[in-house]
Structure 1
């Protein structure tokens, strides 16, 4: 008889298992470093890391002064990523984001040529602050960057650095003079992350604090982040998880027979297949950050609200009754039984 391999021997045989353990340990160090600067907001930090390690983009929705910008810049420092911030305003132009071409003249020959000057989008993490303050033409400049990782200017295509992530913010209070993001652009965001007021103990610590602490030292390099993102994409997804995600998606669509009656009257448009793919990727990332070797239904349920609420268009009946998309997702989660996806 052959001896049973030890856990360490099995880890050595499967490099992905060893990398999972390394990722979970790095996640703990990143969270600890972030909380040296940002007080509280544990759920927000967790969801941000899910979007980041899931190679996605995120939309932060919260009142001013809740440390959204500080949080994103701090995470960028912990991963040694190049960080850019754009304050979106009504007069912002697409070239202010993507870059522009200027006419150069060679002093020796007098020859004139166009030279591309990269815009602030050429970074690893772009913070699009108050993205709904700028007109749709400028908002659309981010679409190609978010979807393809490149921008077009002057008839040429320019690749963006890797990794590349857009973290945008919206203020839910002041709506005058804003331009709501169209559904096509909202769908590019893996998660909509709600940033609420801190709990009393965290708020006491914030109010008593003087200056913000210095940015933390890097925990991972950009190359290590890219390697972990590749691991997340390789993480297995059991058929039961895929089945459950599809059941959730179809339950948000009023034209689908499986849509619950009390949801059907509250929804004009439900979530599409891209939402399902991104929800599965987010579930992979959440599992990987916990050191778990496969996505689970509990990961899907934990991320269903941030992954689906910005992709559901409520009906007039829902608006009249004051029922927002998050409450609609709650009803979908109540109606879809996880046990049905797991089978007998």
Structure 2
């Protein structure tokens, strides 16, 4: 935001949380539309506009957000354009008995050593991901999946061409994690649900049929 500095008698930019490398947006679907607009600009353009000026965001920059179930009071659906900027969406349920006990036990845990993940390390990994090979057959496989979402009887609005590029980027990263310099179909299959579930708009009948499994 732009604030007036009493000492210098000038208007100055006071940078907020969005100027960090990692932005955690908690309960995003409880925030007003102007927050969504600013976040959309930052995630897509990698800069924000305020007070008639444009400020670049740091590199790397990525957003982690949470949202409450739409059935809860004070929440509302996020715009498709904003949802599409998130690479994955994970739908979390209540933890199991064992998981909840493990959460309680780990509340006071402090690791003996902590190796910070610096921006330089992230940049280096991104360069490695970009070098992962993707064959034309795998590209056709991805495009075939995306195109199929557009003519499925249960889907009102299918995935956009942007999704194909994000799909391949995520598949490259998964290949790197598994020690390969090339993408295989399994890299595509394992992330399909998390990558597509927030990019498809289902028909009303499909929503009722799927329930909480959407």
| TM-score using structure 2 length | 0.91
CA distance in 1 between partners of 2:103 and 2:62 (Å): 28
Check conservation: 2:167, 2:195, Cα contact below 8 A: yes
Establish whether residue 172 from structure 1 lines up as the match of residue 73 from structure 2.
no
1:33-90 C-alpha deviation (Å, 9 max, x unpaired):
xxxxxxxxxxxxxxxxxxxxxxxxxxxxxxxxxxxxxxxxxxxxxxxxxxxxxxxxxx
CA distance in 2 between partners of 1:249 and 1:173 (Å): 26
Counterpart of 2:207 in structure 1 is 319
Counterpart of 2:174 in structure 1 is 286
CA distance in 2 between partners of 1:198 and 1:241 (Å): 36
1:172-230 C-alpha deviation (Å, 9 max, x unpaired):
264321121010110001111223333443333334x2742126512543201111111
CA distance in 2 between partners of 1:122 and 1:273 (Å): 29
Check conservation: 1:130, 1:170, Cα contact below 8 A: yes
Task: Evaluate the alpha carbon distance shift between residue 220 and residue 321 of structure 1 in structure 2; reply closer, same or farther with a 3 A threshold.
Answer: closer
CA distance in 2 between partners of 1:150 and 1:232 (Å): 23
> Which of 228, 250, 257 is equivalent to 2:125?
228
SS in 2 for 1:170: coil
Counterpart of 1:246 in structure 2 is 143
The structural deviation recorded for 1:163 is 1.1
Number of equivalences: 213
Choose 1 or 2 for highest CA Rg. 1
Counterpart of 1:213 in structure 2 is 109
User: How much is the aligned-residue C-alpha RMSD, in angstroms?
Assistant: 2.0
Q: How does 1:1-344 map to 2 (within 5 A)?
A: 100-105=1-6, 112-172=9-69, 174-207=71-104, 209=105, 211-214=107-110, 217-254=114-151, 263-264=152-153, 266-322=154-210, 326=214
Q: Tell me, which stretches of 5 or more residues in structure 2 are unaligned?
A: none
The structural deviation recorded for 1:120 is 1.1
Check conservation: 2:70, 2:77, Cα contact below 8 A: no
SS in 1 for 2:125: helix
The structural deviation recorded for 1:323 is 5.5
Q: Tell me, which stretches of 5 or more residues in structure 1 are unaligned?
A: 1-99, 255-262, 327-344
CA distance in 1 between partners of 2:212 and 2:94 (Å): 19
Check conservation: 1:284, 1:294, Cα contact below 8 A: yes
CA distance in 2 between partners of 1:227 and 1:273 (Å): 27
Task: Evaluate the alpha carbon distance shift between residue 250 and residue 232 of structure 1 in structure 2; reply closer, same or farther with a 3 A threshold.
Answer: same
Relative contact order, higher structure (CA 8 A, sep 6+): 1
CA distance in 2 between partners of 1:220 and 1:210 (Å): 21
Check conservation: 1:128, 1:169, Cα contact below 8 A: yes
SS in 1 for 2:98: helix
CA distance in 1 between partners of 2:137 and 2:106 (Å): 50
